[in-house]
Chains A and B, each alone.
Chain A
């Protein structure tokens, strides 16, 4: 099926969107060029998942919302996703608009920038122009990337200068509301040399909202910098969610991803890290929980370019009902990346006969002097483990619960905000209830 993008989104819509964000000329040009590319490019080809009939294009291109006075005025179910401290660094985006923005003034003084991306385009054009969809994610990769480039709104820009270490997470919340919604937030994160930071990105939709998410995340990890990004998607069954995430890691940089795919609808998730400099490290932890008719294609990919680089991909999937998820792990060691070490493990636990889960581990190695390993498994709950737990008095449901949380727990427990972790435990519990 070919969707005529031009028909759905014309130049005028894109121009209006750009003007409403008071963007400079170069950004409008960038958008229009991407719009043109979107009509020409194809959808990405995903391993074992046919997405040609998914809705990526039917949504309101621009839906401005009123700012909220403070985070305290957000609905309760959103607040439970946040750490709830008064000095939180927080950006909340409702549909197309940032509605809450706050940053600890002490950080501002140190030169930290944390603002919605539209503001950053105006106030820090030199940084944005250089890094926004030029080095990590490109608008012409495929139709979805091009659509994102043409229609992104809100988003967030985070810049942490050299030698600045920030313990408290930078939190972003992307919230779809109303009958129909389109969210195309772009998160651009720059960690300068020797800095360290944590980011949490939440993606959520109201119960009856039919939403299309097409989000992107680009992270630049400077030399010896440490970045941890947790992206947590808990979207409803009438939502299509596309996430393209990229990280570029410099010498001795450290990138950790925690990806929670708990959507009930359709999910395309592609997470790619390039270890460019010598000694860079990438850790990718991903949890996918599917129930009902949920469908997903989840890719975790690391490219080793520098010598002595290391990566570890840990992907877990739990599937019940008729959920279908494909978990792809790709470790690519490029020629010249000697002494690199890349390992990965994809494990899928199936809770029902009709569920489908695939684990595809792929190692691509173009260099001799390296270490690499992979493991993959797809299986049911082991009846002997169930017997063991039940023989100590645990009910069937409780034993099953322990085994499932034991399966995802080691990944879940690395989430840096306690309230968020608890909320996710609750979310998974709710999804897996018989």
Chain B
């Protein structure tokens, strides 16, 4: 398979009539790791959700192309099957559906009818990946995210990513709620998947995660736009000095999407 390519052009997104993203441009290729940083409420999750097709987010302008296909034309499930994956900041809980039944359905949805994975093979893969993430076996038979702690939900998102092997993975604050050890485990898992077959977009507030997952590009989002891009050194500077210098440099007073740009 060719290396994946996701191209976002001039993306505008509104939620309940309010414009949140005001023209985002970004290109992610297989093998690359991008990090997006930015203060609270600047539109990071909005970008992730709009890419995945969350029903509350309305794309009002712009384009998103994955491997030559128009993502915005696709239903949510089609986007997933095209190779897009979003580890969500707040994953849903689905009572009564076991983690393993759900994962098997998801794996089979990707593989397509007539090409379903054998149960034995599935269980073997699942066991292996759960062990790698330090998840107790019992999580396979527990209901999807129900009663999971914050950190357990995050690990479960990564488990899904590992089982589904996406072409473009977006990780929205995967580090929030993780203890130091879990952070390392999750980072190692992401690193182990690093290949030209997958591009990664990491949304985070903290340099700490980026110490473990080395990004190739770092972008700063404010006012619903990417206002600055650079290499890993940009993340270090933000960690040390905060966002004030960026705002000053660009003449931004209020960085949230509330401000009239």
B97 to A383, Cβ gap below 8 A? no
Cβ contact of A402, chosen from B52, B54, B55, B105, cutoff 8 A: B105
How many residues of B sit at the interface, in one of the four size bands? Answer: 20 to 34
B143 to A393, Cβ gap below 8 A? no
B76 to A390, Cβ gap below 8 A? yes
How many A residues touch B, CB cutoff 8 Å? Answer: 24
B94 to A393, Cβ gap below 8 A? no
Task: State whether A394 and B94 are in contact (beta carbons under 8 Å apart), knowing that A383-B55, A387-B54, A406-B143 are contacts in the complex.
Answer: no
Asked if A59 is at the interface of the complex by the 8 Å CB criterion, the answer is no
The number of residue pairs between A and B whose CB atoms lie closer than 8 Å in the complex comes to: 78
Q: Quick check: which of B84-92, B176-184, B209-217 contacts chain A, the rest being far away?
A: B84-92
A392 to B55, Cβ gap below 8 A? no
Task: State whether A406 and B109 are in contact (beta carbons under 8 Å apart), knowing that A383-B55, A387-B76, A393-B77 are contacts in the complex.
Answer: no
On chain B, the residues within 8 Å of A395 by CB distance are: 77, 109
The 8 A CB mask of B68-90 against A (1 = contact, 0 = none) is 00000001110111000110100
Asked if A380 is at the interface of the complex by the 8 Å CB criterion, the answer is no
Q: How far is A400 from B96 in the complex, measured between Cα atoms in Å?
A: 13
The 8 A CB mask of A393-434 against B (1 = contact, 0 = none) is 111101100110111111000000000000000000000000
Cβ contact of B91, chosen from A388, A398, A403, cutoff 8 A: A388
Asked if A391 is at the interface of the complex by the 8 Å CB criterion, the answer is yes
Asked if A1 is at the interface of the complex by the 8 Å CB criterion, the answer is no
Asked if A106 is at the interface of the complex by the 8 Å CB criterion, the answer is no
Asked if A164 is at the interface of the complex by the 8 Å CB criterion, the answer is no
| Nearest chain B CB to A171 CB, angstrom units | 27
Q: How far is A97 from B160 in the complex, measured between Cα atoms in Å?
A: 56
Asked if B238 is at the interface of the complex by the 8 Å CB criterion, the answer is no
On chain B, the residues within 8 Å of A403 by CB distance are: 94, 97
Asked if B102 is at the interface of the complex by the 8 Å CB criterion, the answer is yes
For A413, give the chain B residue with the smallest CB separation. Answer: B96
B94 to A389, Cβ gap below 8 A? yes
Asked if B53 is at the interface of the complex by the 8 Å CB criterion, the answer is yes
B75 to A396, Cβ gap below 8 A? yes
Asked if A385 is at the interface of the complex by the 8 Å CB criterion, the answer is yes
| Nearest chain A CB to B260 CB, angstrom units | 30
B94 to A396, Cβ gap below 8 A? no
A405 to B109, Cβ gap below 8 A? no
A391 to B52, Cβ gap below 8 A? yes
Q: Which residues of B are interface residues toward A (Cβ below 8 A)?
A: 52-55, 75-77, 79-81, 85-86, 88, 91-92, 94-97, 101-102, 105-106, 109-110, 143, 160, 164
Instruction: A402-B102, A410-B96 are known; give 9 further A-B pairs, CB within 8 A.
Output: A387-B53, A387-B54, A391-B85, A392-B164, A393-B80, A394-B106, A398-B105, A403-B97, A406-B97
- The 4 A-B residue pairs whose C-beta atoms are closest, nearest first, are A406-B96, A388-B92, A393-B80, A406-B97
Q: Which residues of A are interface residues toward B (Cβ below 8 A)?
A: 382-385, 387-396, 398-399, 402-403, 405-410
